[in-house]
């Protein structure tokens, strides 16, 4: 078979590990051929390819980013986009696609499957918010980066008797904030799943200062105050209708400083959480996903996504993965609340 591979959406540590596993097993075990599509769905849309063989995947296991490039291109928002993809795939002799991405990229994959394109999906996102899989690769790396930042912030916050607000990624799901906050011993964690009361947060901050320690507040970029709304960078929407978030940390620090009389500063971790080398957990998960994906392609089991359920790699319908976002359940937040303000 001649198989196309693409990576779409926000990049994520471990993408290259998936590509490597797909190509290595695909060639050495099954004797398939590969074509790399550049920049997500833009690649098949524009017929933009690069060579993808064993030589091209040598040495990429620990590298962050994606050797194929990425974009948030949505072919369903482009006139004649789907027809263009189909004709390009036919012209290039592509029998099947491995699409590595999050809800948007895999949403396109699910729709293309219904239109007769042979696709197998691999779940990727640092947000860990895809349904049907216990974890996505990239999440563990992002959490470790954020945890390390929080560890460092504790000591400087204490030296200066300041509140430090750490803004992490997480548009609709607060998994990164929850896990990094728990692992880093944050004193308050604020998630998109639950609107927060700024007076209550100020109360936690004051309580923490009374213990002679300084508060660390971890806030997901999509968190909102009661009766408030998400803080956005601007109003522009991307091809999947997402607005660019950012600024809740700064807003919150100003509020906390005014309410507590103690200096409050903000650190926005931003793309640092997505860059650089993946953790061992993510390298192994990404590799296992890649091996599972090429097996599915080889068996002609299309319209599926590989997923981690417990410790097993399984296959689920692509539609299941994208039907509903996996958000943080109330009981997980309740566990974290035990530590708030103390």
Q: Which residues are catalytic?
A: 127
Residue 98 CB, shortest distance to ligand F6P, in Å, is 20
CB of 30 vs ligand F6P, minimal distance in Å: 32
Asked whether residue 170 is marked as a ligand-binding residue, the answer is yes
Write the burial class of residue 117 (CB in 10 Å: 0-12 exposed, 13-18 middle, 19+ buried).
Answer: buried
Among 18, 27, 49, 127, binds ligand F6P (CB under 6 A): 127
CB of 272 to ligand F6P, least distance (A): 11
Burial degree of 192 (CB within 10 A; 0-12, 13-18, 19+): buried
Element housing 253 (H / E): helix 248-260
Stretch that binds ligand F6P, among 63-71, 164-172, 307-315, 327-335 (CB under 6 A): 164-172
Which region, left, alpha or beta, applies to residue 213 given φ > 0 means left and ψ of -120 to 50 means alpha?
Answer: beta
Closer by beta carbon to ligand F6P, 15 or else 169: 169
Tokens of 96: 């099947």
255 phi, psi to nearest 5 deg: -65, -45
Tell which residue, 102, 15, 22, 101, has the closest CA to residue 65.
15
Q: Judge contact between 124 and 9, C-beta under 8 A.
A: yes
Q: Which two tokens stand for residue 131?
A: 């349904």
* Closer of 88 and 322 to ligand F6P (Cβ): 322
For residue 220, state whether it binds ligand F6P (rule: CB under 6 A): no
Least distance CB 17 / ligand F6P (angstroms): 18
Name the DSSP class of 167. E
x/- mask, ligand F6P, residues 272-301, rule CB under 6 A, reads: --x---------------------------
Name which position in 64, 102, 123, 249 contacts ligand F6P (CB under 6 A).
102
Q: Output the known binding site for Mg(2+).
A: 103
Q: Output the known binding site.
A: 10, 103, 125-127, 162, 169-171, 221, 265, 271-274
Residues at the site binding ligand F6P, with contacts judged by CB under 6 A: 10, 102, 125-127, 169-171, 221, 244-245, 274
């Amino acid at each position: 078979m001649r198989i196309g591979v693409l990576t779409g959406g926000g990049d994520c540590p471990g993408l290259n590990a998936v590509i490597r596993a797909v190509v290595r097993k695909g060639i050495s075990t099954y004797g398939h051929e590969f074509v790399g599509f550049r920049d997500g769905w833009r690649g098949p849309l524009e017929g933009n390819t690069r060579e993808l063989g064993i030589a091209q995947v040598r040495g990429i296991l620990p590298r962050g980013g994606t050797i194929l490039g990425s974009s948030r291109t949505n072919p369903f928002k482009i006139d004649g986009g789907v027809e263009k993809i189909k004709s390009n795939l036919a012209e290039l002799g592509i029998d099947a696609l491995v699409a590595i991405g999050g809800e948007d990229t895999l949403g396109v994959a699910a729709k293309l499957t219904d239109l007769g394109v042979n696709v197998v999906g691999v779940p990727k996102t640092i947000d860990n918010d895809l349904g049907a899989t216990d974890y996505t690769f990239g999440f563990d790396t992002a959490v470790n980066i954020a945890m390390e930042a929080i560890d460092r912030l504790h000591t400087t916050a204490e030296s200066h008797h300041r509140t430090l607000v750490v803004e992490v990624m997480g548009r609709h799901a607060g998994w990164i904030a929850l896990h990094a906050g728990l692992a880093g011993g944050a004193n308050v964690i604020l998630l998109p799943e639950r609107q927060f009361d700024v007076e209550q947060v100020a109360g936690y901050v004051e309580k923490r200062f009374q213990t002679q320690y300084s508060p660390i507040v971890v806030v997901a970029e999509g968190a909102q105050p009661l009766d408030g709304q998400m803080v956005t960078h601007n109003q522009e929407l991307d091809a999947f209708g997402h607005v660019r978030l950012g600024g809740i940390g700064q807003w919150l620090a100003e509020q906390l400083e005014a309410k507590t009389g103690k200096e409050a500063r903000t650190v926005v971790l931003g793309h640092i959480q997505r860059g650089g080398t993946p953790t061992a957990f993510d390298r192994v998960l990404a590799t296992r996903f890649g091996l599972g994906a090429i097996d599915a392609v080889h068996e002609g089991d299309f319209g599926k996504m590989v997923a981690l359920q417990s410790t097993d790699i399984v296959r689920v319908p692509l539609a299941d993965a994208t039907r509903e976002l996996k958000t943080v359940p109330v009981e997980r937040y309740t566990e974290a609340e035990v530590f708030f303000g103390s």
